[in-house]
Amino acid sequence: MILDTPVIGSITVLDILKIVLIFLIATVIAKVLSSYIRLFFKDRLSKQPLSLLIKGVKYTIYIIAIMMVLPILGVNPSGILVAGGILGIVIGFASQSVVSNLISGIFLISEKPIQIGDVVEVGGTTGEVTDIRILSTTIKTFDGTLVRVPNNTVFNSPITNYIYHKVRRFGYVVGIRYRDDGEKAVEVIKEVLDEHPLVLKSPEPLIFVDELADNSVNIVIKVWAPVEVWYSVKMELLWKIKVALEEAGVEIPFPQTEVWFNTPLRIEKGSAGGEI
């Protein structure tokens, strides 16, 4: 038969057709996977990491195809596999952290616990996420410092996302004197909150007496505001509450101590005629 006709050494026409078919199938699989990867990660990865990921997938597929072709050519791949295995172990130990960061980066990009623009706290770093790459995440702290956090650290650390929800709650503890009218103070604070346009009505603000402390009656205030402006609202409200309480005659006390003597104090004249 023509298919069994040797072409080069013991390699027949059928062997050549098998080799061509294997590489053809490998090429199709590589193109299909590359298209899916490009479609899935186009909004999650920048151009350079995406290109490296696609190339890595293609090379892996072609390496598998070559290993399938070697027995057809009469080459025993076991020696290559052993050498490759030893080399792989060496490279694995050398690049353990890189592989860990790579896998963690893929999980972060697919699960999306954080996104670019989020304000987060992760691994002891707090700030705005400016970039998420395949190996690391960049966070810009509030003092303008850029911090590169390995994705393995991001993935294995508790993540606090401050703007994941559309609203955020903040609060104060305001102390008033014991002789001041507590109900009046609560009413004044409520009026200040009602007049502010960015204080949310739902969820409703909470105002209540929380503690009878040593030097003051402590009133707790819990307020909800849109996450985009919560910090500016927090800074603005505190001063407005202070001014409103002072205008209403309610003062915020300072720590003080009353000293009592068991016996009345006596005033004695000194030798120079002065009083003691």
Instruction: Label residue 221 exposed, middle or buried (CB < 10 Å: 0-12, 13-18, 19+).
Output: buried
Whether 105 maps to a domain, the answer reads no
Mean pLDDT calculated for residue range 128-146: 86
- What per-residue confidence (pLDDT) applies to 162? 83
- Whether residue 128 sits in one domain with residue 76: no
The DSSP code sequence of the chain is: --TT-EEETTEEHHHHHHHHHHHHHHHHHHHHHHHHHHHHHTTTS-HHHHHHHHHHHHHHHHHHHHHHHTTTTT--HHHHHHHHHHHHHHHHHHTHHHHHHHHHHHHHHHH-SS-TT-EEEETTEEEEEEEE-SSEEEEEETTS-EEEEEHHHHHHS-EEETTSSSEEEEEEEEEE-TTS-HHHHHHHHHHHHHH-TTS-SSSPPEEEEEEE-SS-EEEEEEEEEETTTHHHHHHHHHHHHHHHHHHTT------------SS-----B-TTS-B-
- Locus of tokens 């707790």: 220
For residue 126, give the CATH number of its domain.
2.30.30.60
For residue 13, give the CATH number of its domain.
1.10.287
Segment 184-217, tens digit of pLDDT = 999 999 999 999 999 999 889 999 999 898 889 9
Whether 79 maps to a domain, the answer reads yes
For residue 237, give the CATH number of its domain.
3.30.70.100
- Whether residue 19 sits in one domain with residue 84: yes
What's the mean per-residue pLDDT of the chain? Answer: 81
Whether 171 maps to a domain, the answer reads yes
- Whether residue 52 sits in one domain with residue 14: yes
Residues contacting residue 235 through CB under 8 Å, at least 6 positions apart: none
Greatest mean pLDDT range, 38-52, 100-114, 118-132: 118-132
- Whether residue 196 sits in one domain with residue 148: no
Domain range holding 27?
Answer: 6-94
pLDDT band at 92; cut points 50, 70, 90: low
Structurally, the chain folds into a number of domains equal to 3
- Checking if the pLDDT of 97 tops 90, the result is no
- Whether residue 225 sits in one domain with residue 204: yes
- Checking if the pLDDT of 274 tops 70, the result is no
- Checking if the pLDDT of 172 tops 60, the result is yes
Segment 208-243, tens digit of pLDDT = 999 898 889 999 999 999 988 888 999 999 999 999
Tokens of 33: 């996977």
- What per-residue confidence (pLDDT) applies to 186? 93
- Whether residue 16 sits in one domain with residue 90: yes
Residues forming beta bridges with residue 11, ordered by sequence position = 8
- What per-residue confidence (pLDDT) applies to 20? 87
- Whether residue 141 sits in one domain with residue 192: no
- What per-residue confidence (pLDDT) applies to 221? 95
Tokens of 78: 């076991």
Whether 131 maps to a domain, the answer reads yes
- Whether residue 39 sits in one domain with residue 56: yes
Q: Are 209 and 217 in contact (CB under 8 A)?
A: yes
Q: Which residue has the higher pLDDT, 154 or 186?
A: 186
- What per-residue confidence (pLDDT) applies to 270? 59
Q: Are 137 and 108 in contact (CB under 8 A)?
A: yes
- Whether residue 171 sits in one domain with residue 150: no
Segment 33-57, tens digit of pLDDT = 888 888 877 776 666 667 777 888 8
Whether 100 maps to a domain, the answer reads no
Mean pLDDT calculated for residue range 164-187: 90
Whether 47 maps to a domain, the answer reads yes
- Checking if the pLDDT of 5 tops 80, the result is no
